[in-house]
Structure 1
Amino acid sequence: MEIGTLIQRIRKGKSLTQQQVANAMMITRPYLAKIENNHHQISSEKLTYILDYCNVNYDEFFFMKNDFKISDKNRAYTDVIEMYMNGDFDGIQKLKEDAHKKYVDTNDIYYRHLVILCECIELKFDTEKIPDAYRIELTEYLMGINEWSYYELVLFNNFLYLFPPKTTMLLSENLVERALKYRDLRSDYEAVSMMLFNLMNISIKIKNRQKTDVFIDVAKKLYNGQNRFFEQTMIKYYTGLRMILDKKEEGIGLSRQALEVFKLLDHHDLYTFYEGRLHQLLKEME
């Protein structure tokens, strides 16, 4: 759907006249009519203003622009995960071939990363089988981005356990900076929270107390005082694991308090998974 056509659709959907919107944007009605008829391009500034005036956010706008479907790129990531869960490796192979062709045709780095993801999935993320060249390529890309967008968050999360721990800790600095700067952007919450907890797990495993403290502090700044019950429970759990490194019995007690919450809420899978991580840490410290 063309932008002007969509603007007209949004305006009419909000029961607004061209004159009302034109007045709010401080432009003439004929000028707005040309935009809606796709005879005049709209600047990003004016587009932002009109969406704000009509109380429509950018995610909604681009979803509507794509005929109420998620973008092909977002769908590709969803598809490859579903294929993996269903054991459809023929589908993954075809998706990889299509992504490679699109990368050759467009030089869009997204498709190159999709190819690598497909191959890593085919190799079941076996770090001994995955070529070192992939780790180097992904590391150089992530290190070369001065300010991460949501795409880099997702990319880092997809390959989190592919990198050596020291590289992961180094790359996490961009994640921390992004998490704090964009703390009010709700769309980041799910991706950031899971990465923070995975990073806590890695930093505790390699006994990097300083990094663990940083990740816990960032999580507290993001989720304390909010109705984010799962995240707050996870913060308590990982705070306990961190304490085990220095105050074993106190840490065990705090982590088990968090585990009891999962048990009381009948989250048996979560209880079993995180109880296993606690048991593994204690075994490593024997």
Structure 2
Amino acid sequence: MDFGKAISNIRRNKHISIQQITNNTITKSSYNRFVNGETQPSVNSFLTLLQNLHVSFEEFLYISRGYKPDYFNEIAMQIRDATITRNIPLMQEIHATISTYAQQNPNNQTYLHLKCVTTLILNSLQNEPLDQESKKILLNYLLKCDVWTHYEHTLFNSVIFIFEPSAVNAMEKRIIRNLDSYELMHIYGNESFRSLCVILAFDISHQDLMAAIKVVSKLANFSLHADMLFEKTLYKLFSGIVFLLSGQSIGLQNIKEAIQIMQLTDSKDYLKATFAFIKDVCQIYDFHDEGLAQLLKEGYQKLD
């Protein structure tokens, strides 16, 4: 990335003078050398330049990439979509691409982790034994991190199915610590909340309703921002399943509201995944409910 050129382009497009952007930061000559690629400013000076441009560091990186997400987020979204739709050929293609990158860059930990993720997801989708080396690499990495950022949440959410309940419990403590520490920060609260929802689904699938109820209680106390519709929908869905399995009438209503939101937003892939998950849960618990059966029947009809 040519940071100097990006800074210059943003300044010109915002019609900010060189004097304004370099005020109390660097000299005009130093600025010109920077934008021409001849030198690099200190970290503090660079951050002050961004502040004078009224641009956050995340925005700057996005703009400097040509208004595109970074590679990790881009490939993570592809992996997520292929997993939800159970698209094995697409996942094989993604895995081949990442494996090539990992081979060409053996010291790049991100490529290694993504290769492990796609390997394990393919194992799961094709009903194959899990690759133990990939599992070990991801488990060791996640357990050693005391603080999780977007990167760790993404890895964990992608392959939670490979872990034993004891390992998930250890990771849950880290996620809850993040939830408490970053509750006022939109992105970190968002990530932690989603990961707890993934753990909630994990507990439900492993017939541990007591653990699931504890997670529901924790999520209920978290203040979601008004625009966190996806997170609110996840909470409605999984809490609804827990309540319904516990004999609480509010459960069916919560599930219905979650499905309605997905229908209104035309989230067909998530709807299919939701219906499949509910059917699996009913089978695991040998659970029968006429209202739920009717809700699923109507939901499938609207998908056609």
Asked if these proteins are the same fold (TM beyond 0.5), I'd say yes
Equivalent in the alignment of 1:59: 58
Q: Which has the higher contact order (CA 8 A, sep 6+)?
A: 2
CA separation of 1:234 and 1:70: change in aligned 2, threshold 3 A? closer
Equivalent in the alignment of 1:68: 67
CA separation of 1:244 and 1:120: change in aligned 2, threshold 3 A? same
Measured after TM superposition, the shift of residue 69 of structure 1 is: 3.3
After superposing the two structures, state which structure 1 stretch, 209-218 or 8-17, moved more: 209-218
Equivalent in the alignment of 2:89: 87
Consecutive unaligned residues in structure 1, runs of 5 or more? none
Equivalent in the alignment of 1:272: 275
Measured after TM superposition, the shift of residue 220 of structure 1 is: 3.4
After superposition, the C-alpha distances for 1:76-116 in whole angstroms (9 at most, x for unaligned) are 44455667737246634532441331342xx1111211222
Measured after TM superposition, the shift of residue 35 of structure 1 is: 2.6
Residue type of the partner of 1:43?
A: S
CA separation of 1:122 and 1:51: change in aligned 2, threshold 3 A? same
Equivalent in the alignment of 1:30: 29
Report if the CA contact (8 A) 2:160-2:202 is conserved: no
Partners of 1:89 and 1:58 lie apart in 2 by 32
Partners of 1:282 and 1:93 lie apart in 2 by 34
Q: Secondary structure of 1:226's match? A: coil
Report the TM-score when normalising by structure 1: 0.79
Consecutive unaligned residues in structure 2, runs of 5 or more? 289-304
Partners of 1:263 and 1:220 lie apart in 2 by 23
Report if the CA contact (8 A) 1:180-1:222 is conserved: no
1:21-170 → structure 2 map (5 Å cutoff): 21-23=21-23, 25-79=24-78, 85=87, 87-88=89-90, 91-92=93-94, 94-104=96-106, 107-125=107-125, 129-170=129-170
Partners of 2:80 and 2:242 lie apart in 1 by 32
Identity, % of aligned positions: 18
CA separation of 1:149 and 1:276: change in aligned 2, threshold 3 A? same
Report if the CA contact (8 A) 1:259-1:275 is conserved: no
Equivalent in the alignment of 1:209: 210
CA separation of 1:265 and 1:26: change in aligned 2, threshold 3 A? closer
Report the TM-score when normalising by structure 2: 0.75
Residue type of the partner of 2:197?
A: F
How many residues matched?
Answer: 277
CA separation of 1:18 and 1:147: change in aligned 2, threshold 3 A? same
After superposition, the C-alpha distances for 1:207-241 in whole angstroms (9 at most, x for unaligned) are 26356424542453141x63434533543444454
RMSD: 3.3
Partners of 2:109 and 2:227 lie apart in 1 by 37
Residue type of the partner of 1:69?
A: K
CA separation of 1:230 and 1:21: change in aligned 2, threshold 3 A? closer
Residue type of the partner of 2:179?
A: A
